[in-house]
Amino acid sequence: MPQSEPVENAVPRRERVCFLMHLKPDRVEDYLAVHEHVWPDMLDALRRTGWHNYSLFLRAEDGLVVGYLETDDYERAQREMAETDVNARWQATMAEYFVSESNPDAASERLTEYFHLA
């Protein structure tokens, strides 16, 4: 019996993205409090621009934030998000919590994925 060729998966592989940001250690509690009530229009914008399975993790003792998301195209998702008014307002609000008081999106450090077990 001949072997069939593998079927191409119709679902495009999502890009897995991990990044670091650095909070001011004395602002961690305030930062967490803000994230208990993320603006609904911010959540809608993230979804609309392609941010999926998005999580933030914190090492509270030094303010290290690790972000993870999945997206079809990270550069496009970032660019489209940067074009929204709600993101500009959110980033301006968040800036005071970060070591670098510039736009927190611009100060994030993307990590390289070197292993994945699906």
pLDDT digits (tens, 9 = 90+) for 53-73: 999 999 999 999 999 999 999
- The predicted-structure confidence for 79-96, as pLDDT tens digits, reads as follows 999 999 999 999 999 999
Domains of the chain and any CATH numbers? 15-111 (3.30.70.100)
CA atoms within 13 A on the CB side of 91: 20
List, by residue number, the catalytic residues.
Answer: 35
Q: Give the span between the Cα atoms of 74 and 10, in whole angstroms.
A: 20
pLDDT over 70, % of the chain:
86
Instruction: Give the pTM.
Output: 0.83
